[in-house]
Amino acid sequence: MIQHKEELRQLTQRWLNRKKLTNLSLSLSQKEDDWNFVAGDFQKNPSYFIASTTKLFITALFLQLQAEGRLDLDDRIAKYLEDSILHKLHVWKGKDYSHEISIKHLLSQTSGLADYFEQGPKGQESLRDQLMAGKDRSWELSDVLKLAKSTGAQFSPAYKRKALYSDTNFQLLGHLLEVILDQDLSTIIAERISRPLQMEHTFLFTDPNDQTPVPLQYKRLPLKIPQAMASFGPDGGIVSTSKDMLRFIKAFFDGQLFPVDDVNALKDWRKIFFPLQYGIGLARFRLPRIFTPFSPSPEWIGHSGVSGAFAFYYPQKELYLTGTVNEIHPSSLPFQLMVKLTNIIES
């Protein structure tokens, strides 16, 4: 059972005011006892962009297909993809590794492919910088591949346990799902996850004119980039609510979506950027002991997104946490809140 609910509410409100945030949606669950907190626009409209938390959905779908015997995570992507995609997709130090990339390399961010969102050809503005400046635009998979190829591979696949967080990997994974299942990704997500889990407010955002989700914010100002949000697709395009995401994160870890034992195989952690490590389609947030010298450092596993969205599970306390601060900068905001909440829950 969740303890100290009033203390949680007071702390969350103080933290919200101190950080000068407009919106916050938060859901906690422990042993079927739920607690929710909403502020700002979420009081009337619960829907938000979950951004890269979408990657958990993609991971779940591949584990489903593996359990059904339709693929293996160690399969080379060349088994499914057309030559036009694979052509010089991954060239590193003069060697072409395009046909050596596996599904697992993509899921674990160990393919070595450049990130089309954060990176770009030398001397050119990145897509992220363009979007944060309010320069909205759309793109297709072909645009992603062109950018990744022109930027160049960063290392060979699975090189010395090296990882690079690359949205290019999940753009390819989304296309793989569509090829294997012969359906569009929006339908796949709806039929295999949203409907079975009765997540009535969860869908892939594909229409730039759709006004359903609360608009994003960047440095406390509205950021209107609907064309971009409709283009992210498998690496960050889902819209949901904190309550829907609570259903999803529970299902992810308790065997409703795929065999529960498969979760352990995902925990092959590699460093990507502080404070996260990355496994196979799954992230871990755990502060080093230096930051928590007088108490155990909790391990949260799940995913977060650039929008300030998050969905994590704390196994030691059987605790689930989902929501969004709906603010892109600074990116540490969700983790600051998680630490505060954890301290109260463990007190």
Looking at the domain assignment, is residue 194 inside a domain? Answer: no
Q: Can you give the pTM of this predicted structure?
A: 0.97
In a domain, 196, yes or no: no
Residues 279 and 154 grouped into a single domain: no
Query: Average pLDDT of 298-309?
Result: 96
Pair (163, 229) in one structural domain:
no
- Residue 155 within any structural domain of the chain: yes
**333 in a structural domain:** yes
Same domain, 146 and 245: no
Task: Decide if 109 is inside a domain.
Answer: yes
Same domain membership, residue 283 and residue 222: yes
CATH of residue 10:
3.40.710.10
Are 223 and 333 contained in the same domain? yes
Chain mean position to CA 116:
16
What is the tens place of the pLDDT at every residue in 150-197?
999 999 998 998 999 999 999 999 999 999 999 999 999 999 999 999
77 and 181 fall within a common domain: yes
Of the residues 151, 186, 221, which one is the last residue of a structural domain? 186
Question: Are 270 and 284 in a shared domain?
Answer: yes
- Residues 6 or more apart in contact with residue 133 via CB below 8 angstroms: none
Asked if residue 198 belongs to a domain, the reply is no
**Residues 49-56, mean pLDDT to the nearest whole number:** 98
Q: Is residue 178 a part of any domain in this protein?
A: yes
Q: Taking all residues of the chain, what is their mean pLDDT, rounded to a whole number?
A: 95
| pLDDT tens column, 81-91 | 999 999 999 99
Q: Which of 123, 154, 186 is the last residue of a domain?
A: 186
Label residue 174 exposed, middle or buried (CB < 10 Å: 0-12, 13-18, 19+).
Answer: buried
Task: Answer yes or no: do 224 and 338 share one domain.
Answer: yes
Q: Are residues 146 and 61 in the same domain?
A: yes
Q: Cβ(48)–Cβ(240) under 8 Å?
A: yes
Q: Would you place residue 295 in the very low, low, confident or very high pLDDT band (cuts 50, 70, 90)? A: low
Question: Residue 193 domain-assigned?
Answer: no
337 & 219 share domain: yes
Among the residues of the chain, which ranges form H helices? 5-18, 54-67, 83-86, 103-107, 127-132, 141-151, 167-181, 185-189, 226-232, 242-254, 262-265, 333-345
Q: Which helix (H) or strand (E) holds 239?
A: strand 238-240
- pLDDT per position as a tens digit, 195-254: 999 999 999 999 999 999 999 999 999 999 999 999 999 999 999 999 999 999 999 999
Q: What is the pLDDT of residues 14-46, one digit of tens each?
A: 999 999 999 999 999 998 899 999 999 999 999
Whether residues 221 and 260 fall in one domain: yes
User: Which distant-in-sequence residues (6+ apart) come within 8 Å of 182 by Cβ?
Assistant: none
Q: Between 156 and 296, where is the model more confident?
A: 156
Same domain, 35 and 87: no
Total tally of structural domains belonging to the chain: 2
Confidence of residue 305 (pLDDT cuts 50, 70, 90): very high
Q: Print the domain residue range for 95.
A: 56-186
Beta carbons within 10 angstroms of residue 26's beta carbon? 23
Of residues 297 and 28, more confidently modeled:
28
